[in-house]
Amino acid sequence: MDIDLITNVLYAMVRTGTPLLIVALGELICEKSGVLNLGQEGMMLMGAVVGFIVTLTTGSLALGFFVAILAGILMSLIFGFITMELSANQVATGLALTIFGTGLSAFIGAGYVGKPVEGLDPIYIPVLTDLPIIGRMLFGQDLIVYLSFALFGGVYWFINHSRPGLILKAVGENPHSANAIGLPVFKTRYLAIVFGGAMAGLAGGYLSLAYTPLWVENMSAGRGWIALALVVFASWKAERVLLGAWLFGLASILHLVFQGLGFSVSPNLLAILPYLATILVLVVLSSNQSRNRLVAPVSLGKPFYAKS
Amino acid sequence: MIKLEPRGERSRLMAYLSPVLAILLTMLTGVILFSLLGIDPWHALVTLLYTPISDVYGWTELAVKATPILLCAVGLSVVFKAQIWNIGAEGQLLMGGLFGSFMALQLIDVEGLWVLPVVLVAGVIGGLFWAGIAALLKVKFNTNEILTTIMMNYIALNILLWAVHGPMKDPDGYNFPESAMFGDSSLMPILIEDTRVHFGLALALLAVVAVWVLMSRAFMGFQIRVMGLDASAARLSGFKEKRLAFFALLLSGGLAGLAGVSEVTGPIGQLIPSISPGYGYAAIIVAFLGRLHPVGIVLATFLMALLYMGGEMAQIELGLPLALTSLFQGLLLFYLLACDVLIGFRLRWISNTPGAQGSSTAPAQPLSTTNTSAQG
């Protein structure tokens, strides 16, 4: 394997892992507050389609990303309303959000399939980008990839070193005790849900405005679901989310490696790899039940009733 | 302001009314949507919900569309009753179609009455195999079935695409990603002459009756219901939880596999990349909308089948995207979940004076589901 191939694979790994990283960071915060939102896929797709349409019609990438985030937030508010105000089951509501988002995005995006848009370009930094092996991976990426680095740092700091992060964890571990000592359970959970929506919208926008860049029905291809598995894989730790997202990025681009090495395998069979990796990871992690019980937020998935 | 007040016990009336309310709210949203798009809402609703079944042929086509949805949904009703989230009916359906097609292609030149049963059994095995993996992982390694079944949907789709672009492609098919047309002996007999209504419908109705008997008369069904309502009670009664979970998942997988094989041997007649427009996902909504009850599921299935036909009709007549169907499916599930709140709570007008608030005792569970977490 030559240096060029390694350099390119590492570059593509981070690039492919970026949408996963962004969604998973959002879901991590959401789950830390005790809310399990299975609607990531639907929110991503809405972000992708709305961002694409706005950029296509206005020509502004910034506006596209902004509206993509907004779309994710609006979708997450539907989830928030139904699970928080109406105390509906989080699993069923998240599932509904995904089905709804898949349908709505396909509906409004039907006229935009296959249209080209000027996507986000990688940034060239003299000297650093040209470094061997890690140059393109760390210094030759586009703006959103760098933003994902910053988001990772922010989330890591927030969870581990900030006071609001402490409140978030308290709410997720035991909302009733948190409520009893006067912590705003509802507000915290709402904010966490909205952050999750914003991240999913941004990740969707990244897919349609930078990664591909075009709009195709159902283009997130299960990334929202993989992100959910990633959070489990990461044992609800931010640094492991980063590692996991890049590893899954690598699993998704293995066909490049295979091509580079001269193997010919069916692209459909190689497309299975990230899904298969997800299942394997889940199996390995969940076979140790007592460990999972210790690391998962205790109230995860449980609705909180007592309003005062 | 309006406040939700716990009823203290679940309202049976609202449990039945909630799906009706959800359907009405979905239609109302449709009216608003069509108005915004500048389409006469009445005309649109008629196109969507009446035109497809305005003649007898339309009704028979409805039955054709209903067949796979019904098979998937009735199986899902059993797993959902056990509080197991099999989201993988779509993948199990695709695997059923793939396995069945494989067998049908092996027997392409063979004639005989035994051919179709063999092909159908192969399809059921495909569904059993696919659900069996998720079941095994759940029972042995405690792996969360939501994520595994979803992942296996994507894997099944890619295997199907690989097969239809590769080993199972018709050698005389001008390189189209399609298998050869199956032999006549592998095809479902037509039940009503000059229509596409096939034997699969009879199988689906049989499955509905069988599941009904299982869930309401058999001890196994009783155990599954108890397990779903209160897992610790089931454990204390000595019910074999893992065995029940395994059985329920396999049952739903087998029926989804049958749905897949009855599509390829019924209206399609060969293996193609798109054997299902998301029937497996639609069946999830059908199962909930039908309150996990056989009669409700039959009614909800026909509504969902109508929505598929209406979507196609709206595409032709009104130029709307085909995704209208899945948009309405999502809306329907949202409204259902929202309306289900009224099963456990009642709405009450409350003046904003302090002390006038209702008690905040633990309410009845709003939906017939408990909490599942993403951990394995």
- Closest chain A C-alpha to B145 CA, distance in angstroms: 10
CB within 8 Å: A106 and B148 = no
In tens, the pLDDT along B59-93 reads 999 999 999 999 999 999 999 999 899 999 999 99
* pLDDT confidence bin for B354, thresholds 50/70/90: low
CB within 8 Å: A89 and B367 = yes
User: Using CB atoms, which residue from B152, B284, B338 is nearest to A86?
Assistant: B338
Residue A307 lies in a domain: no
CB within 8 Å: A308 and B330 = no
- Closest chain B C-alpha to A135 CA, distance in angstroms: 34
User: Using CB atoms, which residue from B331, B371, B376 is nearest to A285?
Assistant: B376
Is pLDDT of A188 > 60?
yes
Residue B10 lies in a domain: no
Which residues of chain B does A276 touch, with a Cβ-Cβ cutoff of 8 Å?
A: 151, 155
Least confident of A2-6, A224-228, B135-139, B191-195: A2-6
Cα angle B161-B164-B167, degrees, rounded to a multiple of 5: 120
How many domains in chain A? 1
Which residues of chain A does B325 touch, with a Cβ-Cβ cutoff of 8 Å?
A: 103
Which residues of chain A does B158 touch, with a Cβ-Cβ cutoff of 8 Å?
A: 268-269, 271-272, 275
Q: What is the distance between the alpha carbons of residues B68 and B279, in angstroms, rounded to a whole number?
A: 7
In tens, the pLDDT along A200-226 reads 999 999 999 988 888 998 898 889 999
Which pLDDT score is estimated for B365? Answer: 45
Q: Determine the structural domain holding residue A282 and report its residue range.
A: 3-295
Cα angle A150-A154-A155, degrees, rounded to a multiple of 5: 120
For chain B, how many residues are written?
A: 376
Which residues of chain B does A282 touch, with a Cβ-Cβ cutoff of 8 Å?
A: 137, 143-144, 147-148, 376
Q: Determine the structural domain holding residue B217 and report its residue range.
A: 69-290
Mean pLDDT in chain B?
A: 88
Strand partners, B6: B345
Residue B109 lies in a domain: yes
Residue B5 lies in a domain: no
- Taking residues A150-158, report their average pLDDT: 94
Residue B92 lies in a domain: yes
Tell me, rounded to whole angstroms, the distance of Cα A63 from its chain centroid. 20
Residue A304 lies in a domain: no
Is pLDDT of B114 > 90?
yes
How many domains in chain B? 1
pTM value? 0.89
CB within 8 Å: B373 and A296 = yes
Residue B171 lies in a domain: yes
CB within 8 Å: B369 and A92 = yes
Which pLDDT score is estimated for B290? Answer: 92
B183 touches B177 (CB < 8 A)? no
CB within 8 Å: B142 and A287 = yes
- Taking residues B284-304, report their average pLDDT: 93
Residue A239 lies in a domain: yes
- Closest residue in B to A103 (Cα) is B327
Residue B140 lies in a domain: yes
Is pLDDT of A264 > 90?
no
In tens, the pLDDT along A74-117 reads 999 999 999 888 888 888 899 899 999 999 999 999 889 888 88
In tens, the pLDDT along A33-62 reads 989 999 999 999 999 999 999 999 998 999
Strand partners, B349: B2
Residue B277 lies in a domain: yes
CA distances B76 to A199, B27, B81, Å, are 32, 26, 8
Residue B99's closest CA among B91, B111, B110?
Answer: B91
- Closest residue in B to A106 (Cα) is B323
Residue A302 lies in a domain: no
Residue A210 lies in a domain: yes
Residue A300 lies in a domain: no
* pLDDT confidence bin for B376, thresholds 50/70/90: very low
A225 touches A63 (CB < 8 A)? no
B96 touches B121 (CB < 8 A)? no
Residue A56 belongs to domain with CATH number: 1.10.3470
Q: What is the distance between the alpha carbons of residues A32 and A30, in angstroms, rounded to a whole number?
A: 5
Which pLDDT score is estimated for B286? Answer: 94
In tens, the pLDDT along A61-77 reads 999 999 999 999 999 99
Residue A194 lies in a domain: yes
Which residues of chain A does B345 touch, with a Cβ-Cβ cutoff of 8 Å?
A: 87
Residue B342 lies in a domain: no
Task: Cite the DSSP H helix spans in chain B.
Answer: 12-36, 41-49, 56-81, 89-106, 115-141, 145-165, 199-217, 219-229, 231-236, 241-263, 279-289, 294-318, 324-339, 341-344
Q: What is the distance between the alpha carbons of residues A60 and A50, in angstroms, rounded to a whole number?
A: 13
